[in-house]
Amino acid sequence: MSSQFGPDYVRAIAPYQGGRPIADVAREFGLDENRIVKLASNENPLGMPESARQAMLAAAADAGRYPDGNGFALKATLTEKYNVPADWITLGNGSNDILELAAHAFVQPGQSVIFAQYSFAIYPLATQAVGGRAMAIAAKDFGHDLDAMADAIADDTRLIFVANPNNPTGTFINGAQIQKFLQRVPPDVVIVLDEAYMEFLAPELQYDSIAWVSQYPNLLVSRSMSKVYGLAGLRIGYGIAQPGITDLLNRIRQPFNVNSLAQAAAIAALNDTEFVARSAALNAAGYRQLITAFEGLKLPYIPSCGNFVMVKVGDDNDAGARVNLALLKQGVIVRPVGNYGLPQWLRVSIGLPQENEIFIAALKTALAK
């Protein structure tokens, strides 16, 4: 549907398709909400940490007041955790906010933005919302081809998005490759290193991107509280960059973009190292459970470093939609990725062991049809 309002580039936006809400699927398929398994949005299957829930409830007493628009207490927690000054931190209404702020701050209509094919759906949306020219660079083995991305940088390129680990494919680029890439990017091009899943990385894969921020004034590291920290519904994330970037993001954000309940919960969650470790361990076990099942079913999958896995459910271009529908009818919500150009695949978030089991059984039924 189009209207006569607004610029062409806004009218051309295809709205973001998220994972379907449980209540929605229950209504459509006549199912009991309590028996639905949702493995569609890379949420933490443990829910929010109890520490964060308590902090949020305590903060609710003051919800009649505006939040601290500068997030003093939360920034103090982050300052201590990462050993960076408070003026290097931007708080966001989800890390999605940080990605959009970057597009608004650095890209004018007609200028180009680079990201990888099969990368996060928000990158093209944020680009289009500001009239930017999207350059989606062909993926290599479903992941980023950083050499090709660096080669593609044009005179008008202002922004590059790199998701590591990547969503939806779960692919990972090691720290040495990223450093090599950072060296190749001209200083007037901003790189957003989107690390929504970094807490799930095995210790031997982890790298210190915050240290790179000191070295590169054009690097913005983005982190989310929605995935391992279990706060997806509260909407909170943050960006870390030198003041040359951070100052601009803070000028254009809404003054109260992060609500007070989210700020309180985030402080507690960031300090809850036990919860993070337990979540990462649960995820690692669930990953093995899922890929063991895929191997048994002879289904190709993409090795993943996130809290989700891509599995190929057929060779025809209706396979993803067909198997997805058969799963929905059984009360299992996963994510079809046809909109990413991967119609033969489904992305499955890693759940609790029993949720994974229900999904595997439903998948077997769906494939038998």
Ligand X SMILES: *Cc1c(COP(=O)(O)O)cnc(C)c1O
- Measured in whole angstroms, the distance separating CA 76 from the mean position of its chain's CA atoms is 24
Give the x-and-dash track for 20-59 against ligand X (CB under 6 A).
----------------------x-----------------
Among 44, 96, 128, 242, which residue interacts with ligand X (rule: CB under 6 A)? 96
How far apart (Å, rounded) are the C-alpha atoms in residues 324 and 330? 10
Stretch that binds ligand X, among 89-97, 176-184, 208-216, 257-265 (CB under 6 A): 89-97
Stretch that binds ligand X, among 76-84, 90-98, 103-111, 275-283 (CB under 6 A): 90-98
How far apart (Å, rounded) are the C-alpha atoms in residues 364 and 303? 20
Residue 120 within binding range of ligand X, rule CB under 6 A: yes
Interactions with ligand X, residue window 283-302 (CB under 6 A): none
Stretch that binds ligand X, among 19-27, 52-60, 64-72, 92-100 (CB under 6 A): 92-100
User: What sign for the dihedral angle of Cα 137, 113, 308, 31?
Assistant: negative
Calculate ∠ Cα 84-239-256, nearest 5°: 110
How far apart (Å, rounded) are the C-alpha atoms in residues 28 and 156? 47
Quick check: 165 and 200 in contact, CB under 8 A? yes
Nearer to ligand X, 220 or 362 (CB): 220
- Counting other chains too, the contacts that 26-34 makes at CB distance below 8 Å and 24 or more residues apart are 28/328, 29/328, 29/329, 29/331, 31/331, 32/331
Among 44, 112, 117, 167, which residue interacts with ligand X (rule: CB under 6 A)? 167
CB of residue 195 vs ligand X: minimum separation in angstroms?
8
Quick check: 88 and 240 in contact, CB under 8 A? yes
CB of residue 199 vs ligand X: minimum separation in angstroms?
12
How far apart (Å, rounded) are the C-alpha atoms in residues 359 and 339? 22
Nearer to ligand X, 279 or 330 (CB): 279
Bridge-based pairing of strands 157-163 and 237-240 is: unpaired
CB of residue 298 vs ligand X: minimum separation in angstroms?
28
| Token output for 197 | 């899943």
Quick check: 297 and 367 in contact, CB under 8 A? yes
Nearer to ligand X, 224 or 246 (CB): 224
Nearer to ligand X, 15 or 64 (CB): 15
- # residues contacting ligand X (CB under 6 A): 13
Nearer to ligand X, 163 or 309 (CB): 163
How far apart (Å, rounded) are the C-alpha atoms in residues 309 and 195? 17
CB of residue 312 vs ligand X: minimum separation in angstroms?
20
Stretch that binds ligand X, among 55-63, 94-102, 105-113, 354-362 (CB under 6 A): 94-102
Among 90, 95, 209, 307, which residue interacts with ligand X (rule: CB under 6 A)? 95
Closest residue to ligand X, Cβ-based? 94
Nearer to ligand X, 331 or 351 (CB): 351
Interactions with ligand X, residue window 202-261 (CB under 6 A): 224, 226, 232, 237
Bridge-based pairing of strands 89-92 and 237-240 is: antiparallel
Quick check: 159 and 102 in contact, CB under 8 A? yes
| Residue type at position 294 | F
Among 196, 268, 302, 358, which residue interacts with ligand X (rule: CB under 6 A)? 196
Among 43, 100, 194, 272, which residue interacts with ligand X (rule: CB under 6 A)? 194
CB of residue 196 vs ligand X: minimum separation in angstroms?
4
CB of residue 269 vs ligand X: minimum separation in angstroms?
13
Residue 199 within binding range of ligand X, rule CB under 6 A: no
How far apart (Å, rounded) are the C-alpha atoms in residues 142 and 145? 9
How far apart (Å, rounded) are the C-alpha atoms in residues 2 and 206? 46
Nearer to ligand X, 349 or 356 (CB): 349
CB of residue 226 vs ligand X: minimum separation in angstroms?
3
How far apart (Å, rounded) are the C-alpha atoms in residues 47 and 230? 5
- In total, the chain counts a number of residues equal to 369
Question: Residues in the site for ligand X, rule: CB under 6 A?
Answer: 42, 94-96, 120, 163, 167, 194, 196, 224, 226, 232, 237
